[in-house]
Structure 1
Amino acid sequence: MASAIRNDSTLRAKVLVPEKLSPDGLSLLKTSLDVDERKGLSADELLSIIPDYEALLVRSETKVTAAVLQAAKKLKVVARAGVGVDNIDVEAATKNGIVVVNSPSGNIGAAAEHTIALLMSMARNIPDASSSLKSNSQIFANSTVHLVGLIVARLAKGLGMKINAVDPYASSAVAASASVTLMPSLSVLLPTADFLTIHTPLIASTKGMISTAELAQMKSGSRILNVARGGTVDEPALLAALESGHIAGAAVDVFATEPPSPDSASAKLIAHPRVIPTPHLGASTVEAQENVSIDVCEQVLQILGGALPRSAVNAPLILPEEYKKLQPFVRLVEKLGSIYTQHYGSAENPLSNRSTFDLIYEGEISGMNNTKPLFAALIKGLTSPISNSAGLNVNIVNAELVARERGIIVNEKHSRDNPSHSYSSLITLVATAAKNTAKEGPEPQGHEYDQIISGTCSESQPLISRLDRFATSFVPEGTLLICHNFDSPGKIGVVGSILGKEGVNINFMSVAPVSKGKQQRTNEGQVYDEALMILGVDKAVDESVAKALVHEGGVLSASVVSL
């Protein structure tokens, strides 16, 4: 995979930073990228300049809309220096193959500390210093704090609190190690909570997750904290619960509108006597800002350098050790897909006449459980040579979406049986198509057969080992001429002569005989002696040359493949 980080300073990838970020992270980028700090951009200004950039780093102010992402033809990654990504249209980014990353762990320490500070302030009425010894002050040892998430669990446990939580992504082992009891649902958790604190991102499923019904389930006199994202708590519902006295108090660091507009629910919460408001301070320590800046800048460097994202919100998690093993095969599978489209397809029907493929893993590669990068590489290879795919960035982010939109179905199969080959790992692409609908040759029209391409990796170098019935071995790179011909003397000389007249030099040639037992026969039972010539040539070859090879050189079919 070619790196986007280049030594020539005039060609270095460009990064746009429209908000203030810690200089520690930016200094990492500046060693190999062109970093353009442009604070205070209007929406129109951002839209006009974004086509020039490969990466965009934001915090919470910049709105990364669908229009911005559509205009960003070079953009590979949007990085959010923080946890929430509600200011980024993640769905639009996915459609355009743009990775969205955040920093889920860079500021959790600061947010957890602020949560505990607010909890203590609320429990002991500290903001109302003149009445700090009122009779309703609470000692909160033995109280139960209920978390949506597990972030502040260890700190709360140190205060002698019982911790219950709802977290669909936490394992029971992780929860047990933090002395946390996982509850099956909010409806089970809420009725016994003394304090409820929220720790989730703002996404469609969490918007307004604590509303009238949920607040009603909480016991009278309980308290609620939100140091996560504005909008996860229904602010008008919280106001009503505070006014009725059902909820005794609230501490709120994040609001649905920031800054709050006059007479909004956010503004009324800030002014409420039983609310402790803070101006989005949860992650505002110097250390936290440095952590998230360094984290997202490191991710930008890795993604522009060709690595998979480690904290992408719109891509599956691939562990580094997994990707290291898969990376050579990612290149191989992309080549398999590209060869298929160019070798078997036609101008009228680039993906042949089938859109269902088997991708078969044999040997060591069959033991890999996470093959999402291989699936994405296949979709990229199949679609990249097609003219209407020009400019489409197919990658692990949007491969499934692209496949679905184009009606491409891929069945991944892991074969752990004893292989009939000697390769440590082999990957085979299989498609069933009506034979000879676009190619000339001796086989009967309309005969159903499997189009097969197999390949392996030798010391990280992709190699093609089979094309249909022909055993071969060649490196899939550059411009290739693949000629199907009768295996008779003189064919190589004729092909070389035609190419010579066109000024085409042959860099390498591989002659692939038909595999044993796979010869074609005439209706009379005669066996055809066939072969493939795979020619690596030094420049692009016009389709007219391929036609000349068929009509003048006695070749049955010829295709041009550019890799």
Structure 2
Amino acid sequence: MARILVTEQIADAGLDRLRAAGHDVDVQLAPTPDELVELVRGAHALIIRSATTVTAEVLGAADDLVVVGRAGIGLDNVDVEAATARGVMVVNAPQSNILSAAEHTLAMLLAQARNIPQAHSALKAGRWERSRWTGVELSDKTLGVIGLGRIGKLVAQRALAFGMRLVAYDPFVGADRARQMSVELMDLDQLLAESDFVTIHVAKTPETVGLIDAERLRAAKPGIRIVNVARGGIVDEADLAAAIAEGHVGGAALDVFDTEPCTDSPLFALDEVVVTPHLGASTVEAQDKAGDTIAEMVGLALAGEFVPYAVNVGAAEASETVRPFLPLAERIGEVFACYADATETGEISVEYTGEIADYDTRILTLSLLKGFFDRVSDDPVSFVNAPQLAKERGIEVRESSTSTSHDFVNLITVRAGSRAIAGTLTGLRGDPRIVMVDDHKVDVPPARHMLIVRNEDVPGVIGVVGTVLGESGVNIADMDVGQTADGTAALMVLATSVPADDEVLDRLRAADSIRSVHAISLSA
């Protein structure tokens, strides 16, 4: 029998499942951080939702802990890296709310098209305003779907029933998969120019923050309507409010906001805007599914069985030699997702060189894929579903190993088309380093903010880059330069203190002798 500590409200059916299996379910709601450190001592499992923060300190106090279960999707409140280092499995319930989110998207779409909330409020206030709230039909309108993950796919399927034409932007979805969904793929700017309605289903990353801004809204089809039930901040809220007030954008329906709780916004004053307080996952069914699913996953983990929704399944399964490379592999995947050319990712090859080649490295490939898809997919990504996400996007993953290594004791290299990234662990502490980009030898840490600059190998380029960054207040924390064998081209990799904004990137790209600039932003 295991002791299971539960710190937040979980569906009774889930807890009853654990009790029926003979476990001691200890419900201690809303403990303080200090109380949690004491309560977790002796616990074999910890079940939480979003309000409990599982820090390295908490994990350090839990010598008997086997698994942390998050009844929901997001894991911002769990130190997964620290859990992995201690061999503690982290599981979530990634499928629990996707149907609720998709249905809420359609509800918001219809509410916006037919002005339902506005008409409802007017009538309850004693005003019969039929002509004022005339809406539009969905039939024969074009719906642009940004992100064709699981939720985007469900929305697309349901929109077809309304007779809508479907177009989509997702650079990591293959043409075959899109055709199967009756969706036409196109780039983002074209999608905005052709769509009557747009719905957003992408992860919130540094690349997608402000994805829909004033410039894109100005270029969008007049009268376009924006629906966002994904993440706040993907649409610039101030720019959206201005575009609606000016009459270029027809309206919006928003369930998420850049800062939450949000009770004051210029969008709230606009009749054309429908809002809800982050209700995408707020259904009885979604909450029940989350509780029941997490109870099942925790039970499997405690029984030592296969856990389908383990986020860091390799924590227990990886050998002592391979385990330290799990965070490195995930970071390499993140960097590569930001750097790779999406048109060349039909085949991704992963090569292991050196001592680790003598071990089972499949878990490292899963870790790399998890990092990759965390950056490009709105789907919850785990070690288990990462290969399926690759398959759905038409990406073939090849793995190879060789124990012969000339420059490093161990090396992980990922390639797709003309792009490649390699990394290793160095020193007694096993510090992660990026040591190769496109066959250029470099040596920099995989920092949160990075730049990869390709340039002609001529004097003065480093000075130009330093000047542009310095004038813009972007400090260089680390930097290295690699040359091609023939000395005609060079490549700079820089770690910076803050991200370089679009203006800085444009200045760099306009400089003589600079061929390309890629901005890399990793998760914290």
TM-score (norm. length: structure 1): 0.51
2:93 to 103, 110, 113: 103
CA contact (8 A) 2:115 2:133 kept: no
| 1:95/1:316 CA distance change after superposition, 3 Å | closer
For 1:334 and 1:144, locate their aligned partners in 2 and report how far apart those are by CA, in whole Å.
53
Counterpart among 234, 238, 241 of residue 240 in structure 2: 238
1:448 aligns to what?
none
Deviation at 1:287, TM superposition (A): 1.8
State how 1:482-561 maps to structure 2 within 5 Å: none
Aligned to 1:288, which of 286, 289, 292? 286
CA-CA distance at 1:271 after TM superposition: 4.6
* Contact 2:197/2:224, CA 8 A, preserved across alignment: yes
What is the deviation of 1:152? 0.7
Which of the numbers 91, 101, 106 marks the counterpart of 1:116? 106
Shift of 1:143: 1.0
SS at the partner of 2:198? strand
* Cα distance change on mapping 1:270 and 1:312 into 2, 3 Å: farther
Shift of 1:159: 0.5
Q: Report how many aligned residue pairs link the two structures.
A: 332
Instruction: Mark the CA change 1:125 to 1:48 in structure 2 (over 3 Å): closer, same or farther.
Output: same
218 and 312 in structure 1: CA distance in 2 versus 1, 3 angstrom threshold: farther
Cα distance in 2 for partners of 1:229, 1:213 equals: 20
| Amino acid corresponding to residue 19 of structure 1 in structure 2 | E
Give the Å deviation of 1:146.
1.4
Q: Which residue of 1 aligns with 2:418?
A: none
1:158 corresponds to which letter in structure 2? A
Structure 2: gaps spanning 5 or more residues: 120-127, 324-352, 368-382, 385-407, 414-524
- C-alpha distance in 1 between matches for 2:190 and 2:311: 29
**CA deviation after TM superposition for structure 1 residue 194, in Å:** 1.5
Quick one: percent identity of the two aligned structures? 41
What RMSD, in angstroms, separates the aligned Cα atoms of the two structures? 3.9
1:151 match = 154
Match of 1:167 in 2: 170
User: Which secondary structure does the structure 2 equivalent of 1:106 belong to?
Assistant: coil
Query: Could you tell me which residue of structure 2 aligns to residue 197 of structure 1?
Result: 199
- Equivalent residue for 2:346? none
Shift in Å, 1:119: 0.6
CA separation of 1:160 and 1:305: change in aligned 2, threshold 3 A: same
Q: Residue type matched to 1:178 in 2? A: M
Determine the structure 1 residue equivalent to 2:410: 409
> Hey, what does 2:461 align to over in structure 1?
none
Amino acid across the alignment from 1:295: T
1:257 Cα deviation from its structure 2 partner: 3.4
User: Which letter does structure 2 place at the counterpart of 1:101?
Assistant: V
Question: Does the Cα contact within 8 Å between 2:118 and 2:271 map onto a contact in 1?
Answer: no
Tell me if the contact between 2:243 and 2:249 (Cα under 8 Å) persists in the aligned partners: yes
Counterpart AA for 1:372: I
Match of 1:210 in 2: 212
Pair 1:358–1:293, CA change in 2 (3 A): closer
Shift in Å at residue 158 of structure 1?
0.5
State the shift of 1:43 in Å: 3.7
Match of 1:36 in 2: 26
Distance 1:91 1:245 in 2: 47
Structure of larger gyration radius? 1
1:250 Cα deviation (Å)? 1.3
Equivalent residue in structure 2 for 1:277, among 272, 275, 300: 275
Shift of 1:292: 2.1
Letter in 1 for 2:117: P
Deviation at 1:47, TM superposition (A): 4.2
Matches of residues 314-393 of structure 1 in structure 2 within 5 Å? 314=312, 356-357=354-355, 359-360=357-358, 371-372=362-363
Q: How does 1:251-270 map to 2 (within 5 A)?
A: 251-260=253-262, 263=264, 265=265, 268-270=266-268
Q: Pick closer, same or farther for the CA change 1:69–1:166 going to 2, 3 Å.
A: farther
Contact 1:126 / 1:132 at 8 angstroms: preserved in 2? no
Q: What letter matches 1:371 in structure 2?
A: R
> For residues 494-516 of structure 1, what are the alpha-carbon distances to aligned partners after superposition, in whole Å with 9 as ceiling and x for unaligned?
xxxxxxxxxxxxxxxxxxxxxxx
Q: Deviations over 1:390-420 (max 9, x none)?
A: xxxxx99xxxxxxxxxx862789xxxxxxxx
Task: Give me the whole-angstrom Cα distance separating, in 1, the residues matched to 2:287 and 2:215.
Answer: 36
Does the 8 A contact of 2:7 with 2:31 survive in 1? Answer: yes
Q: Is the 8 A contact 1:111 1:227 kept in 2?
A: yes
1:18 pairs, out of 2, 7, 12, with 7
Q: 2:87 and 2:61 mapped to 1: Cα distance?
A: 13
Aligned equivalents of 2:312, 2:322: Cα separation in 1: 26
CA distance in 2: counterparts of 1:124 and 1:219, whole angstroms: 19
Is residue 125 of structure 1 aligned with residue 115 of structure 2? yes
Per-residue displacement from partner, 1:413-472 (whole Å, max 9, x unpaired)? xxxxxxxxxxxxxxxxxxxxxxxxxxxxxxxxxxxxxxxxxxxxxxxxxxxxxxxxxxxx
Question: Take 2:239 and 2:199, find their aligned partners in 1: how far apart are those partners?
Answer: 16
CA displacement, residues 236-259 of structure 1 (integer Å, 9 cap, x when unaligned) = 333333333332211112233333
User: Would you say the 8 A contact 1:145–1:194 is kept in 2?
Assistant: yes
Deviation at 1:67, TM superposition (A): 4.9
Gaps of 5+ in 1: 1-8, 318-326, 338-354, 362-367, 377-394, 397-406, 413-563
Distance, in Å, in 1 between the alignment partners of 2:206 and 2:89 is 19
Structure scoring higher RCO (CA < 8 A, sep ≥ 6) equals 2
Choose the corresponding residue for 2:182, options 179, 183, 203.
179
Native 8 Å contact 2:56 2:83 kept in 1: yes
Distance 2:213 2:33 in 1: 33
| 8 Å contact kept, 2:322–2:356 | no
